[in-house]
Chain A
Amino acid sequence: MIDFGALGSALQLLGSNAMAWMVVPPGLLIGLVFGCIPGLSVPIAMAIFLPITLYMDFLSAILFLTAIFTGGGFGGSIPAILMNVPGTASAVATTFDGHPMAKQGRQSYALGLALGASCIGTAIGYVLLLLLVSWIADAVLMLGPLEMFAIAVWGLTLIAVLNEGSVAKGVLAGLLGVMMGIIGMSARGDMRGTMGMMALVDGVPKVPALIGLFAASEMFRLMRSEYIVADETKRRPEFGQLLAGARGALLYPVTLIRGSLIGVGIGAVPGVGSAVANLLSYAEEKRRSRTPELFGRGEPRGVVASEAANSSSEGGSMATLLALGIPGGSATAVMLGAFAMHNVTGGPRFISENLDLVYAIILGNLVQVALLAVMGIGFLFIAAGLVRVPVRFLVPGVLLMALLGCFSITGDMMGPITMVACAALGVWLREHDFPVAAVVIGLLLGPAAEAELLRTIQLSGGDPAFILTRPIAMGILLLLLISMLYPLLRRRARIRAAAAAE
């Protein structure tokens, strides 16, 4: 599993390269700042700072970029917890229990919990990468369009799990998201729903739509209160609670491990990414819980599951990048740019010929996790003070930053316009108890589901028996079916048990 000779060389490489260590703290800080401002995503941060890496050696460049990746992955949870506004798409599920904890005055504990889960999740992701890098690469190659479609459908079924109210409203909201997501150019090159606007050829801008649906509509809800935390005595950032929260993540080892495994697995699949891992892990945790009714009301396990998964997905996406040279998402696509700038090509040959370098990257990232734990606590102590800002100043400030963040993503007015339109839609949907999270899931997964379904039909010639030749797809669909039926069967068993007890 591990080549100890290469491991020794990796330690030597890291020990003799001071630059590799000097670039990590600023990288983490950049990631934290970009991650915690809605709209300023991690890939943007990495793209902005990519040119600087030209002046670094390859190892330092990759460690600098992965530091931004790691910092940003966690940074997104800060506004998710404090304001119910996911800083990145991968922090959507963190809002479900993180923000209720903040509203109860437990924001310091929730932030610490997210930091603890993120650090442990990232570490598990990289340890698995260290042990299984070659195996993961082989496994990813076995996934075809049918398997990818099954994964996307699994993500879409979360709609039913995440909605507390009417299932019909959840499904309708999800379908609305799917339809919004497939606006733009089809696989055949036909423009659908673009109204002749070139800006819509690539579809509705996803992140501005997400920010509008979630962040802006949440700001409108926040307007009703004076402060995020009603109780004045609970608004002070508490260092002790931050530390207690970070330690508290260890109280849920099963949640951490399950979330991390989901994160690594989903992160390794190109094009799916940490946003799905975050939602899937949360939904699985809720499904398996004996007290699912506590989720959405400030349940710490919800925060741990979400953060462990989105952080560990970094390790999974790095596995695909290193082993296959395929970027799993926008962040690793930027990293591929750094590979190209240093004349390095990822893939099986890269691993076999540069195993010491691969190990050095992995070990460097494990040290980054420890640094994130220390820097994150300091950063959180400052960030937790946000709840002391009156809502009358907070709401306009966040809306302006989010709007400018959307401009930064698209580079034109399409981003801000999308955000405002989706904000209005989000307010209206929330007013009538439609889950905006379902719209976001549909928006993120709809295009992927359509593309993979189409490829499957083309490959199979429309023959349904094709599925019988794909055991992995059958396995995923079977798991999907079981995970959907399991809560129903358990509920029935409970009712029977209660009836028997009476």
Chain B
Amino acid sequence: MGPVAPSAARRLSECLLLAVIAAFAVWLADDAVRRSPTLENLVMIVPAAILVVALAVGLAVAALRARDGGADRVPASFMLKACVLLLLLVGLVAGFETIGFDTASFLFLLAAPVLLGERRVLPLLAFATLGSAGVVAALRVMLPYDMPTLLL
């Protein structure tokens, strides 16, 4: 099988998005029906789910039938960068409670600008140190919640 044409990849991505939305609607309606098949529980969910599925199917058919899916508006390199940034965010959230808010924030503020093109070491270190220390210190003063930290 040859490489997927850009327009086909875009169509595939749109159909996948529509499938995810429809699956979510069906799952939520099914979950609500299982909990309690009463009017109070279903008055909004079931009609909304039916509409979601109908619209998703219609839009998917339209996307597949479209003669030209359009070239990818976003270069593949950007999509890769966006995915890596999203992973960095996931890592940051995971790091909050494992390595502490301060260290996780520092590492994120160090890695994300590098990903976005910053190569100067001194500005990077200054940004990550001041940014993480400033934000964590300010929130610690303002918030009544416990924020686990490693160093600060």
- Which residues of A are in contact with B by a Cβ distance under 8 Å? 48, 166, 168-169, 171-172, 175-176, 178-179, 182-183, 186-188, 190-193, 216, 220, 223-224, 390-393, 395-397, 399-401, 403-404, 407-408, 411-413, 416-417, 420, 423-424, 427-429, 431-432, 434, 446, 449-450, 453-454, 457
Is B105 a contact partner of A190 (Cβ separation < 8 A)? Answer: no
Contact present for B86 and A424 (CB under 8 Å): yes
- Which one of B14, B24, B116 lies within 8 Å of A223 (CB-CB)? B116
| Cβ–Cβ < 8 Å partners of B48 in chain A | 175, 178-179, 182
- Given A168-B58, A188-B38, A408 contacting B145 (CB threshold 8 A): yes
Q: Give A171's nearest chain B residue, CB to CB.
A: B55
Question: Which residues of the partner chain B approach A412 to less than 8 Å between Cβ atoms?
Answer: 145
Contact of B85 among A187, A220, A446 (CB under 8 A): A220
* Distance, CA A191 to CA B86, complexed state (A): 30
**A400 in contact with B116 given A191-B35, A192-B31, A453-B43 (CB within 8 Å):** no
Contact A392 B117 (CB under 8 A): yes
A408 CB contact (under 8 Å) in B10, B55, B139: B139
With A168-B59, A172-B59, A408-B143 given, is the CB distance from A396 to B32 under 8 Å? no
Residues of B within 8 A of A424 (CB): 86
Q: Per-position contact with A for B24-40: 1 when CB-CB < 8 Å, else 0?
A: 11011001100110111
* Cβ–Cβ < 8 Å partners of B40 in chain A: 186-188, 454
Report whether A403 and B13 are in contact in the complex, using a CB–CB cutoff of 8 Å: no
Report how far A271 CA is from B55 CA in the complex, Å. 30
Q: Which residues on B sit within 8 Å (CB–CB) of A454?
A: 40, 43
CB pair A400–B36 under 8 Å, yes or no, is: no
Q: Output the least CB separation between A401 and chain B (Å).
A: 6
7 contacts between A and B (CB under 8 A): A172-B52, A176-B52, A223-B81, A392-B116, A395-B116, A400-B109, A454-B40
* Cβ A450 vs Cβ B108 within 8 A: no
**Given A192-B32, A396-B108, A424-B86, A403 and B92 contact (CB-CB distance below 8 Å):** yes
- Residues of A near B147 (CB, < 8 A) are 407
- Distance (Å) between the CB of B142 and the closest chain A CB? 6
Report chain A residues within 8 Å CB of B97.
413
> What 1/0 mask marks residues of chain B from 113 to 126 whose CB sits below 8 Å from any chain A CB?
10011100000000
Please, which residues of chain A bring their CB within 8 A of the CB of B150? none
Contacts of A179 in B (CB 8 A): 24-25, 28, 45, 48-49, 52
In the bound complex, do residue A190 and residue B116 qualify as a contact, i.e. CB atoms below 8 Å apart? no
A399-B82 Cα distance, complex, nearest whole Å: 13
Find out whether the CB atom of B109 lies under 8 angstroms from the CB atom of A427: no
With A453-B44, A454-B43 in contact, do A192 and B135 touch (Cβ < 8 Å)?
A: no
Contact B52 A193 (CB under 8 A): no
Do the beta carbons of B109 and A192 come within 8 Å of each other? no
**Given contacts A178-B44, A400-B131, could you give 9 more A-B pairs where the C-beta distance is less than 8 Å?**
A179-B25, A187-B40, A190-B32, A192-B41, A223-B78, A408-B142, A411-B145, A413-B93, A427-B86
Residue of A nearest to B72 (CB): A431
Interface pair A48/B142, CB less than 8 Å apart: yes
Interface size class of B (residues with CB under 8 A): 35 or more
* B73-131 with Cβ < 8 A to chain A: 74, 78, 81-82, 85-86, 89-90, 92-93, 96-97, 101, 105, 108-109, 112-113, 116-118, 127, 131
Closest to A176 in B: B21
- Cβ of B71 within 8 Å of any chain A Cβ, yes or no, is no
| Residue of B whose beta carbon sits closest to that of A395 | B116
Q: Does B17 contact A (CB under 8 A)?
A: yes
**CA distance in complex: A396, B114 (Å):** 10
Contacts of B39 in A (CB 8 A): 457
- In the complex, B51 has a CB within 8 A of chain A: yes
Closest Cβ neighbor of A411 among chain B residues: B145
Given A188-B36, A393-B113, A401-B135, A420 and B44 contact (CB-CB distance below 8 Å): no
Q: Known contacts being A172-B59, A420-B90, is A427 close to B82, with CB within 8 Å?
A: yes
Shortest CB–CB separation between residue B141 and chain A, in angstroms?
A: 10
Contact, CB under 8 Å: A192 / B45: yes
Q: Cβ of B142 and Cβ of A190 under 8 Å apart? A: no
A407 and B52 form a contact (CB under 8 A):
no
- Chain B nearest Cβ from A178, distance in angstroms: 5
Cβ contact within 8 Å between B49 and A186: no
CB distance from B113 to the nearest CB of A (A): 5
Residue pair A188, B59 in contact (C-beta under 8 Å): no
Complex contact B31–A193 (CB within 8 A): yes
Contact B78 A423 (CB under 8 A): no
**A434 neighbours in B (Cβ, 8 Å):** 17
Contact (Cβ within 8 A) B55 A172: yes
A307 to B114, CA, bound (A): 37
Asked if B41 and A404 make an inter-chain contact with CB atoms under 8 angstroms apart, the answer reads: no
Contact A396 B112 (CB under 8 A): yes
